[in-house]
Amino acid sequence: MRCDAIRQSSAAFGRVRPRSAAFGRVRSVAFGRVRSAAFAADDDADDDDGCARARVYAARVVDVATTTTTTTMMKTTKKKGKTTTKKKKKTPKPLFAPAMKSMKRAREVTSAFHRLTRILTTTTTPTTTTGAAGAGAAKKAAAKKALDAIGGRRAYQEASALTTQRHRTAKWTFSVLTKRNMRPKAGEAKLRTLEVGAINTDLMSAKFLDVRAIDIQSQHPKIVQVDFFDEPVRAEAYDVVHSSMVLNCVPTAAKRGEMLARTAVILRPGGLFFLMLPVRCVKASSRMSHEKLTRILRACGLRVVEHKSTPKVMFYCAEKLAKQPTTDTAVCDDAVSGEFVDDEASTGKHTNIPNASVKKSELASKKLADKARAAAAAREAFILAERLRDEKGNPEHFGITLLPEHLCGF
């Protein structure tokens, strides 16, 4: 009987797999107690009762050991005789805790903010309160009241913080800089970076970037409170310009064009411009498309080299192009390089005459220059045609207008 009880209790323990070293120890101790109970029962007058008690005790100990393992013992490990509790990694706290936790609510606030801001900007301030002027004043007052009701710009920034945290725009920026071998090596200077409309410090966490973060309403001491249009335009001042969900906040198409033109000026040749826009601004607008946005950026001297699309955000990376040398400059460069022949033996005079390779180079340069001029003219015609078409389009839709002074000319 004793052996039968031990055998059955062993089978009961064997069905429970040890999930940790701690559980294995508990099972060993419990099985030892079952054996002791079985031996004690064998000494009693009624062996059947003793075996029954041993089996019940075994089942009870197995149940307790299983429960203990799944609740507490899985949380602890024994290191060097000390029992410690495993701690979860702390997630980095956002710049400011977003009051919004719903992406649906964030999208609603963002859409309402853009719509109401557009009304406040495009509606002219009336001088009288009669007729159309009075209707305009009422429309503007209603828009301001609705904007205050949703929380104003502060609510929009909270919605943007949630959106940026979800889409991780800075991570894509880091990956593109790495892919294009832009990250400076040890001992080299950091990349001069301007972050427009900064709502967090993600870019500042990169040790290879020297970031100047600006926003029209700063929420952090590291972010300078200033309007992008009030920033001095210093040519080739930055290596990287980062603009995430900012261009769509600019109220008019003309100001958006001016923002792109200013960006092209402050970037050095070879520098990168990172632009993120909501998908609906590019794909759902009657005044914009992916091809059109690419051509607008090129007209400013910015060539798109990387782009991707997610269900909610369009990502663009554009490189600042350098102006190509003219035909005369190219020929002069060839002359300085010494590609000339001495005709003194035939004429008796020391004269330098361009050889065949120089003439060929001059011909190729002329062709390239003609092509560049034709392409620039085609871009100017395209921008003019689109500007006229956009003026007749729906002003509620996202659009970009470039003026002649915004074009790079090459």
- The whole-number pLDDT of residue 30 equals 61
**Segment among 52-56, 150-154, 375-379 with least mean pLDDT:** 52-56
What is the distance, to the nearest Å, from the Cα of residue 37 to the centroid of all Cα atoms in its chain? Answer: 66
**Maximum distance among all Cα pairs of the chain, rounded to whole angstroms:** 139
- The whole-number pLDDT of residue 45 equals 41
What residue type is 274 in one-letter code? F
At which residue do the structure tokens 């009030």 appear?
Answer: 230
Torsion of Cα atoms, 86 then 91 then 96 then 98, to 10°: -100
User: Percentage of the chain surpassing pLDDT 90?
Assistant: 33
pLDDT digits (tens, 9 = 90+) for 150-195: 777 666 666 665 665 555 788 899 999 999 999 999 889 999 999 9
pLDDT digits (tens, 9 = 90+) for 303-328: 999 999 998 899 999 999 998 654 44
Distance, CA of 145 to CA of 208 (rounded, Å): 44
Q: Which residues pair with 212 in a beta bridge?
A: 194
Torsion of Cα atoms, 133 then 137 then 142 then 148, to 10°: 150
What residue type is 252 in one-letter code? T
Section 383-393 average pLDDT: 89
Q: Tokens at residue 209, please? A: 């970037």
Give SS3 for 276: strand
* Residue 77 binned pLDDT confidence (cut-offs 50, 70, 90): very low
Sequence-distant (6+) residues with CB within 8 A of 338 are: none
Torsion of Cα atoms, 90 then 92 then 98 then 99, to 10°: 20
Geometric angle at alpha carbon 54, from 48 and 58, rounded to 5°: 145
**Segment among 5-9, 274-278, 284-288 with least mean pLDDT:** 5-9
**Segment among 218-222, 324-328, 384-388 with least mean pLDDT:** 324-328
Burial class (CB in 10 A: 0-12, 13-18, 19+), 206: middle
- The whole-number pLDDT of residue 24 equals 61
* Residue 94 binned pLDDT confidence (cut-offs 50, 70, 90): very low
- The whole-number pLDDT of residue 104 equals 66
pLDDT digits (tens, 9 = 90+) for 238-265: 999 999 989 988 989 999 999 999 999 9
Distance, CA of 250 to CA of 269 (rounded, Å): 26
Distance, CA of 285 to CA of 274 (rounded, Å): 21
Distance, CA of 319 to CA of 268 (rounded, Å): 9
Does residue 90 have a pLDDT over 70? no
Does residue 286 have a pLDDT over 80? yes
Write the DSSP assignment of 179-214 as a string of letters: HTT-S--TTSPPEEEEEET--SSTGGG-TTEEEEEE
Helix H segments across 15-130? 21-43, 47-71, 103-122
Section 106-122 average pLDDT: 68
What is the distance, to the nearest Å, from the Cα of residue 57 to the centroid of all Cα atoms in its chain? Answer: 61
Q: Whole-prediction pTM value?
A: 0.60
Geometric angle at alpha carbon 120, from 115 and 123, rounded to 5°: 110
pLDDT digits (tens, 9 = 90+) for 339-370: 333 444 444 444 454 566 767 777 777 888 88
Torsion of Cα atoms, 54 then 58 then 59 then 65, to 10°: 160
Write the DSSP assignment of 295-319 as a string of letters: HHHHHTTEEEEEEEE-SSEEEEEEE
